[in-house]
């Protein structure tokens, strides 16, 4: 292994593991093509976000400890769920301040990245030879935008793709209505929220809705399929891979 080659711990979120395995494979393939050594710890599980959001802080803490310890050997930790990154960056201090992981969790947080953050700010990657000749709306995942601050990086990557026309909508950072268990507990409200979201993208003339958060894409695609709307959702990784 070259001395300057980064070792990347691959974190595959639950939604990708269960519903979109190819996106995870595409992420690893892309990272390997640009010179990273990728390692997938097979013992990984959920990051604990749903447990934390539902008030089970102790169980979330146990899963968080597992994450911190498991990914300790790597230069960076990269995932294709910006929402998981946002959750950990915002809430791990609450879970681990003055705990046995007090000195370890900041180091973990510093090297934890969404794939677009890593590509742009660490690897200074620009897509070359990638074509996607469609009108694309990028959807800002609300917690990613507000708790992580990730906004321009995915747009920068999309603008560099050949033939792609990036369209914007007003109130792009408004929640799509997924919110994990929120969509189950408050289905009518969730459905109305996703209807408004999808309608805005249709009015903008988008052919594809692209995001860094797979759960929201799954939620919107379910509504789109049910209503027979002529628009598709894609994870940004699946656009970047030729």
The percent of residues in the chain predicted with pLDDT above 90, rounded, is 83
- The upper half-sphere exposure of residue 55, i.e. CA atoms within 13 Å in the direction of its Cβ, equals 0
Q: What is the pLDDT of residues 102-122, one digit of tens each?
A: 999 999 999 999 999 999 999
Q: How far apart are CA 191 and CA 229, in angstroms?
A: 14
Would you tell me how many other CB atoms lie within 10 Å of the CB of residue 76? Answer: 20
Taking each continuous run of H as one helix and of E as one strand, the counts in the chain are: 13, 8
Q: What is the pLDDT of residues 2-57, one digit of tens each?
A: 446 899 999 999 989 999 999 999 999 999 999 999 999 999 989 999 999 889 99
Would you tell me how many other CB atoms lie within 10 Å of the CB of residue 134? Answer: 16
Beta bridge partners of 76: 8
Q: What angle do CA 73, 64, 146 make, to 5 degrees?
A: 105
Which uninterrupted H or E stretch holds 233?
A: strand 232-235
Mean pLDDT of the chain: 93
Q: What angle do CA 105, 108, 114 make, to 5 degrees?
A: 135
- CB 47 within 8 Å of CB 11: yes
Q: Which of 229, 219, 227, 241 shows the shortest CA–CA distance to 83?
A: 219
- CB 204 within 8 Å of CB 172: no
Radius of gyration of the chain from its Cα atoms, rounded to whole angstroms? 18
- CB 9 within 8 Å of CB 41: yes
Least confident of 146-150, 184-188, 192-196, 230-234: 184-188
Cβ partners under 8 Å of residue 98, min gap 6: none
The SS3 call for residue 131 is: strand
Which ranges of 128-186 does DSSP label H, i.e. alpha helix? Answer: 142-143, 152-159, 182-185
Confidence of residue 1 (pLDDT cuts 50, 70, 90): very low
Domains, the chain, in order of start with CATH, read 7-122 (3.40.50), 135-240 (3.40.50)
Per-residue model confidence (pLDDT) at position 2: 43
- The upper half-sphere exposure of residue 99, i.e. CA atoms within 13 Å in the direction of its Cβ, equals 16
pLDDT over 80 (residue 151): yes
pLDDT over 90 (residue 187): no
- CA-CA-CA-CA torsion for 92, 124, 151, 89, nearest 10 degrees? 0
pLDDT over 90 (residue 182): no
Least confident of 49-58, 88-97, 175-184: 175-184
pLDDT over 50 (residue 90): yes
Confidence of residue 172 (pLDDT cuts 50, 70, 90): confident
Q: Which of 184, 179, 170 shows the shortest CA–CA distance to 142?
A: 179
For range 56-72, the mean pLDDT = 96
Q: Which of 19, 15, 104 shows the shortest CA–CA distance to 66?
A: 104
Q: Please report the sign of the dihedral spanned by the C-alpha atoms of residue 154, residue 156, residue 157, residue 160.
A: positive
């Amino acid at each position: 292994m070259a001395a300057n080659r980064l070792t990347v711990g691959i974190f595959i979120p639950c939604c990708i593991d269960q519903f979109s395995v190819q996106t995870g494979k595409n992420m690893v393939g892309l990272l390997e093509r640009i010179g990273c050594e990728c390692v997938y710890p097979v013992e990984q599980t959920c990051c604990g976000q749903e447990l934390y959001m539902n008030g089970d802080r102790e169980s979330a803490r146990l899963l968080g400890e597992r994450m911190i310890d498991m990914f300790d050997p790597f230069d960076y930790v990269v995932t294709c769920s910006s929402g998981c990154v946002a959750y950990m960056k915002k809430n791990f201090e609450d879970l681990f301040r003055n705990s046995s992981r007090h000195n370890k969790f900041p180091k973990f947080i510093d090297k934890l990245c969404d794939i677009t953050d890593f590509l742009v700010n660490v690897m200074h990657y620009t897509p070359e030879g990638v074509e996607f000749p469609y009108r694309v709306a990028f959807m800002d995942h609300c917690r990613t935008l507000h708790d992580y601050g990730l906004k321009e990086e995915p747009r920068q990557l999309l603008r560099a793709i050949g033939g792609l026309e990036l369209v914007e909508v007003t109130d792009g950072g408004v929640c799509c209505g997924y919110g994990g268990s929120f969509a189950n507990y408050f289905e009518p409200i969730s459905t109305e929220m996703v209807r408004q979201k999808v309608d805005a993208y249709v009015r903008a003339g988008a052919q594809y809705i692209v995001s860094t958060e797979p759960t929201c894409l799954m939620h919107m695609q379910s509504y789109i399929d049910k209503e027979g709307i002529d628009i598709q959702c894609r994870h940004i990784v699946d656009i970047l891979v030729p």
